[in-house]
Amino acid sequence: MAAELTAHELIAKHRPTLDQALEAIRTRAYWSPHPEHPKAYGENGSLDMAAGKAAFDALLGSRLDLGQPGTDDWVGGETSPYGIELGVNYPHADLDELLPAMKAGQRAWRDAGAEMRAVVCLEILKRISDRTHEFAHAVMHTSGQAFMMAFQAGGPHAQDRGLEAVAYAYVEQVRTPDTAEWTKPQGKRDPLALTKQFTPVPRGVALVIGCNTFPTWNGYPGLFASLATGNAVLVKPHPRAVLPLALTVQVAREVLVEAGFDANLVALAAERPGEGIAKTLATRPEIRIIDYTGSTSFGDWLEANARQAQVYTEKAGVNTVLVDSAANYKGMLSNLAFSLSLYSGQMCTTPQNLLIPRDGIRTDEGPKTFDEVVADLARAVDGLLGDDARANALLGAIVNPDVKARLEAAAGLGEVALASREIANPEFPDAVVRTPVIVKLDGAKPDDEAAYMSECFGPVSFAVAVDSSAEAVELLRRTIREKGAMTVGAYTTDAEVEDAIQEVCLEESAQLSLNLTGGVYVNQTAAFSDFHGSGGNPAANAALCDGAFVANRFRVVEVRREAQGQA
């Protein structure tokens, strides 16, 4: 059967986008082919708002049959953080049947070459993009993100990160030419001459272990990096966030088949409640690459035990914002208030510890005491979230009971500067919506240190009083080194303090945002330009996305022969 999508068509359609992505990762200027505005969808085959909602509603209570071999059962049972039962059932796999089936199509996928793989990946991303409105609901009702955030972070921003990974994978594979003629002079004798072929070959089957909070955004880089480098990819979603990745697998399988490849190059591994198949999968000999986002303890377990695989982990960290002085006090407060509130602080990039000198800071509005800074920040958060509709749109829902329990316990850790409030969600009355809590701690007290030196994932921040900015810089260093950090923020007007903070971030390998007061926040990164994590501190062993993230997902095999005309 001829492929419905030929290489020629796919290259004609997607090569210009690939070239723009390659240029963007080189210049790191702003670029995205995926519209951020919901109204941009609805033409040229993409679903508009109503059609996306209808498509999502049609999924509820359905069986998502992906046509996978070795399906021995149907499993499901996601409950939205907004309270509704999704009721979608997914294939449960007999691994001894599914994994061999995933390897069957690898030779053709390998032989297709780097460019064909890239444009097939771009076609997958294009079809996901067309269904962004449908995916937005799927992300919202698994992660608890508010609709607009689920739409943007789960849609175009996730697709950007996937495309970025494809671009890095492509450029890495074509660094070595397909063939080379090698001719070495031998003085008066005939030269030595060899013809060499170089082929990028996959490592095997790659495993993506998804997370609850950002199933697509954190899942796509590994998925597309592995697929674009010739590997088959098995997707093991978080049991509470299966749907967005199951839909992704569905789209990938459709496109692969239409392009003449084996559907089983991408497959889903859903699990029964409590089955815990991640450990089983991660140590299967077929699995040669693992991408994981989640807890430090399981990430460490994977790094120690999945020794047959390349393991890329994003784990927990303790993110710090150092407040030394402010040239725009109001801007700092509103920027920080937004960062603490967005998605109820349930981002791996949300600041946790705000280090503030106990003697206060200099600002453009005059000196401010420690208590004034904290009170002003609390007021800024209150102001931002004062209107319930706006609060719901910013906060989303608490993703799971663990986060809620952590939030409730945090109030007992110190003096509460801003109490968490319950917000009613008129559309989803069962949603658990909470504003962030800010707790004052003393940097010098050992009990307090135990609190602020642990990750408290969720809408919890600590305003930590420190003796001086110099002490804050050293505490920042120790926090990054011992606990890791996905992000660091700092506010200062003092060039020496700024230098000291930068030097700590360079030495401890942490990404730094300085004096943000406008519409960019420390917890947001843009694909093609910002690195997400550094891969150089304990929070993550890889960065999204760089050469190191893709270069070891394939190997180059050389076949050399004497050139025609040689002995």
For residues 484-523, which are near a second copy according to CB under 8 A?
502-503, 505-507, 509-520
Return the number of the residue (87 or 331) whose C-beta is nearest a second copy.
Answer: 331
- Report how far residue 147's alpha carbon sits from residue 249's, in angstroms, rounded to the nearest whole number: 22
- Report how far residue 94's alpha carbon sits from residue 76's, in angstroms, rounded to the nearest whole number: 16
Return the number of the residue (300 or 359) whose C-beta is nearest a second copy.
Answer: 300
Shortest Cβ 221–a second copy spacing (Å): 15
Shortest Cβ 539–a second copy spacing (Å): 12
Return the number of the residue (107 or 379) whose C-beta is nearest a second copy.
Answer: 107
> How many residues make contact with a second copy (CB under 8 A)?
71
Q: Which of 2, 29, 188, 446 binds a second copy (CB under 8 A)?
A: 29
The one segment of 13-21, 81-89, 135-143, 548-556 that binds a second copy by CB under 8 A? 548-556
Q: Which residues inside 166-205 make contact with a second copy, applying CB under 8 A?
A: 172, 175-177, 180-186, 192, 194, 196, 198-199, 201, 203
Shortest Cβ 524–a second copy spacing (Å): 10
Q: Which residues contact 269 (CB under 8 A, 6 or more apart)?
A: 93, 95, 98, 234, 235, 236, 277, 281
Q: Which residues inside 220-249 make contact with a second copy, applying CB under 8 A?
A: none
Shortest Cβ 431–a second copy spacing (Å): 30
Q: Is 565 in the site for a second copy (CB under 8 A)?
A: no
Return the number of the residue (38 or 443) whose C-beta is nearest a second copy.
Answer: 38
DSSP string, 372-402: HHHHHHHHHHHHHT-SHHHHHHHH----SHH
Q: What are phi and psi of 496, to 5 degrees?
A: -70, -40
What's the alpha-carbon Rg for the chain, to the nearest Å? 25
Return the number of the residue (180 or 450) whose C-beta is nearest a second copy.
Answer: 180
Which residue in 63, 68, 71, 69 sits closest to 93, CA to CA?
71
Shortest Cβ 25–a second copy spacing (Å): 8
Shortest Cβ 300–a second copy spacing (Å): 9
Q: Which of 242, 536, 544, 545 binds a second copy (CB under 8 A)?
A: 536
Q: Which residues contact 124 (CB under 8 A, 6 or more apart)?
A: 224, 251, 252, 255
- Report how far residue 144's alpha carbon sits from residue 522's, in angstroms, rounded to the nearest whole number: 21
Return the number of the residue (275 or 558) whose C-beta is nearest a second copy.
Answer: 558
> Strand pairing of 189-202 and 205-209?
unpaired
Q: Which of 19, 28, 63, 478 binds a second copy (CB under 8 A)?
A: 28
Shortest Cβ 301–a second copy spacing (Å): 12
Shortest Cβ 442–a second copy spacing (Å): 29
- ∠416-422-424 over CA atoms, to 5°? 160
User: How far from chain centre, in Å, is Cα 561?
Assistant: 44
Shortest Cβ 216–a second copy spacing (Å): 21
Return the number of the residue (236 or 284) whose C-beta is nearest a second copy.
Answer: 284
DSSP string, 483-531: H--S-EEEE-S-HHHHHHHHHHHHHHT--EEES--SS--TT---TTTS-
The one segment of 24-32, 58-66, 404-412, 455-463 that binds a second copy by CB under 8 A? 24-32
Shortest Cβ 429–a second copy spacing (Å): 34
Number of Cβ within 10 Å of residue 550's Cβ equals: 26
DSSP string, 433-483: EE--EEEEEETT-HHHHHHHTS---SSEEEEEEES-HHHHHHHHHHHHHHH
Shortest Cβ 425–a second copy spacing (Å): 28
Cis bond before residue 121 (omega within 30° of 0): no
Q: Which residues inside 327-356 make contact with a second copy, applying CB under 8 A?
A: 328, 331
User: How far from chain centre, in Å, is Cα 187?
Assistant: 56
Return the number of the residue (218 or 335) whose C-beta is nearest a second copy.
Answer: 335
Q: Which residues inside 253-312 make contact with a second copy, applying CB under 8 A?
A: 303-304, 307
As a whole number of angstroms, the longest Cα–Cα distance in the chain is 89
Return the number of the residue (204 or 239) whose C-beta is nearest a second copy.
Answer: 204
Q: Which residues inside 30-89 make contact with a second copy, applying CB under 8 A?
A: 30
Q: State the burial class of residue 34 (Cβ atoms within 10 Å of its Cβ: 0-12, 13-18, 19+).
A: buried
Q: What are phi and psi of 222, to 5 degrees?
A: -65, -40
- Report how far residue 315's alpha carbon sits from residue 298's, in angstroms, rounded to the nearest whole number: 8
Which residue in 402, 439, 401 sits closest to 419, CA to CA?
439
For residues 185 and 564, the answer to whether their CB atoms sit within 8 Å is no
Return the number of the residue (264 or 487) whose C-beta is nearest a second copy.
Answer: 487
Return the number of the residue (5 or 167) whose C-beta is nearest a second copy.
Answer: 167
Return the number of the residue (58 or 180) whose C-beta is nearest a second copy.
Answer: 180
Shortest Cβ 393–a second copy spacing (Å): 18
Shortest Cβ 564–a second copy spacing (Å): 12
Q: Locate 146 and state its tokens.
A: 């508010």
Binding mask 83-122 for a second copy (x = CB under 8 A): ------------------------x--x------------
Return the number of the residue (450 or 556) whose C-beta is nearest a second copy.
Answer: 556
Q: Which residues contact 43 (CB under 8 A, 6 or more apart)?
A: none
The one segment of 23-31, 90-98, 242-250, 351-359 that binds a second copy by CB under 8 A? 23-31
Which residue in 461, 414, 418 sits closest to 442, CA to CA?
414
Shortest Cβ 39–a second copy spacing (Å): 11
For residues 500 and 470, the answer to whether their CB atoms sit within 8 Å is yes
Q: Which residues inside 419-458 make contact with a second copy, applying CB under 8 A?
A: none
Return the number of the residue (72 or 182) whose C-beta is nearest a second copy.
Answer: 182
